[in-house]
């Protein structure tokens, strides 16, 4: 196997490879760009026209997606997976990965779309580097652009594998992309309705890529992900890489659950209180009238929406950041 196929091993060891470029027997080029960043270019005659960005480890303790990318890259380096797409593999937060922590100083996935320029420290610098690497990768004209940012969640979920579809001014969410996600094993999609500061929101809004944050189960240490079944996603990614993706039908999206954001709960102060059990699962339903949270100056969040569910509740976020999202069922009529 080519040495550059061991990107995860190199990253966890903090080593820079001696050879920055290697070729597979079929002529695909592997090029090391920076720590945790490797670009794969197929032979020109085999290029499918797809630019595929696969990122994981933006939160360093979310290891199942990191292991998935490692398997894909090793398959390319061994010659068992023959790429026809250009691919950028990104391991988002190498130092947090080495420590087995979600982050070191601050959450990288709240530092995109210019937010890192207002901050300092390791994660802010890394967010800027990830933006530059992504922008350079997606700079070629007249090519399809797709970004999957792979995560696992802090807590359990009543819907284990789901996606967040970012928002961009004047752009309608794609029914075809939703069907592609469904074929990859994604059971639900949250259709966002305003801009955000996450990695996938940056590539969607600024780089015109179809981009998604994928939540794929619960976060566990390396080697302990047997309960996270990524078989359908891995098979679909292999098909995308090799340019043999089965045709997807962008029809009624039967069985795919769609949600929209009703409200975001923003933590304003250290007095913030979230009235939820510590072990509540994502997509738990909340009744109308439920007092969800309180903060300074008599601020109260009470559930007003029928069928409301909670996702990403986290009262420990920094002041000014989102502490939870209330979502409600959405119709497929809102996608094109």
Question: Can you say which residues are annotated as belonging to the binding site for Zn(2+)?
Answer: 59, 62, 151
Pairing of strands 29-34, 21-23: antiparallel
For the chain, the three-class secondary structure string (H helix, E strand, C coil) is CCHHHHHHHHHHHCCCCCCCEEECCCCCEEEEEECCEEEEECCHHHCCCEEEEEEECCCCCCHHHHHHHHHHHHHHHHCCCCCCCEEEEEECCHHHHHHCCCCCCCCHHHCCCCHHHHCCCHHHHHHHHHHHHHHHHCCCCCCEEEEEEEEEECCCECCCCEEEECCCCCCCCCHHHHHHHHHCCCCEEEECCCCCCCHHHHHHHHHCCEEEEEEEEECCCCCCCCCCCCHHHHHHHHHHHHCCCCCCCCCCCCCCEEEEEEEEEECCCCCCEECCCCCCCECEECCCCCEEEECHHHCEEECCCCCCEEECCCCCCCCCCEEEEEEEECCHHHCC
Annotated binding site: 59, 62, 151
The question of whether 101 is a catalytic residue gets the answer no
- Which of 215, 249, 254, 304 is labelled catalytic? 215
List residues with catalytic annotation. 215
């Amino acid at each position: 196997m080519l040495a550059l196929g061991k990107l995860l091993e190199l990253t966890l060891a903090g080593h820079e490879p001696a050879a920055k470029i290697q070729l597979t027997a079929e002529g695909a080029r592997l090029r090391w760009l920076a720590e945790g960043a490797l670009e794969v270019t197929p032979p020109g005659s085999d290029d499918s026209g797809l630019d595929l960005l696969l990122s994981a480890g933006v939160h360093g303790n979310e290891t199942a997606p990191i292991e998935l990318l490692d398997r894909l890259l090793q398959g390319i380096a061994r010659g068992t997976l023959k790429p026809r797409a250009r691919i950028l593999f990104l391991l988002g937060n190498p130092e947090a990965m080495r420590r087995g922590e979600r982050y070191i100083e601050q959450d990288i996935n709240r530092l995109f779309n210019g937010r890192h320029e207002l901050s300092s420290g390791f994660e802010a610098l890394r967010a800027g580097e990830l933006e530059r690497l992504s922008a350079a990768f997606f700079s070629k004209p007249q090519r399809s652009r797709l970004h999957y940012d792979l995560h696992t969640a802090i807590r359990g979920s009543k819907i284990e594998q789901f996606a967040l579809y970012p928002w961009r001014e004047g752009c309608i969410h794609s029914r075809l992309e939703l069907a592609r996600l469904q074929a990859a094993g994604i059971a639900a999609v949250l259709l966002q309705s305003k801009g955000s500061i996450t990695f996938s929101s940056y590539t969607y809004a600024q780089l015109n890529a179809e981009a998604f944050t994928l939540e794929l189960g619960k976060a566990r240490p390396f080697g302990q992900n047997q309960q996270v079944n990524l078989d359908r996603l891995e098979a679909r990614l292999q098909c995308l890489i090799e340019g043999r993706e089965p045709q997807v039908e962008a029809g009624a999206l039967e069985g795919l659950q769609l949600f929209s954001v009703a409200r975001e709960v923003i933590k304003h102060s250290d007095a913030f209180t979230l009235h939820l059990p510590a072990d509540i699962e994502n997509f738990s339903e909340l009744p109308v009238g439920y007092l969800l949270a309180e903060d300074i100056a008599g601020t109260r969040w009470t559930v007003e929406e029928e069928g409301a569910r909670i996702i990403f509740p986290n009262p420990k976020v920094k002041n000014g950041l989102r502490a939870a999202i209330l979502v409600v069922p959405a119709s497929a009529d809102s996608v094109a």
